[in-house]
């Protein structure tokens, strides 16, 4: 994982903005996940958010029942 305090280049930020823009348009779940962070950033409370991986765990595989 990269250092969170590291600065991103202009092109890295541009690419990230492009990806986030399209993902927010096509994925309601992504937009809902980004919205609290965006609001916290605007309110100056970004450091108060919990740190770590907030992604949900992958769904458990259910074994197939053989007849």
Please write the tens of the pLDDT for every residue from 1-60. Answer: 456 667 889 999 999 999 999 999 999 999 999 898 889 888 888 777 676 555 555 566
pLDDT at res. 60: 62
Q: Which of 50, 28, 26, 53 is nearest to 40 (CA)?
A: 50
Stretch (H or E) spanning 21: helix 10-26
- Residue 40 to residues 15, 18, 37, 56, 64, Cα–Cα distance (Å): 22, 21, 5, 21, 44
Nearest to 32 by CA among 59, 6, 4, 54: 54
């Amino acid at each position: 994982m990269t250092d969170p305090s590291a600065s991103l280049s202009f092109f890295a930020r541009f690419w990230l903005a492009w990806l986030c823009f399209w993902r927010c348009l096509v994925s309601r779940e992504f937009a809902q996940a980004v919205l609290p962070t965006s609001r916290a950033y605007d309110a100056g409370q970004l450091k108060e958010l919990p740190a770590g991986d907030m992604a949900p765990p992958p769904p458990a595989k259910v074994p197939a029942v053989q007849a």
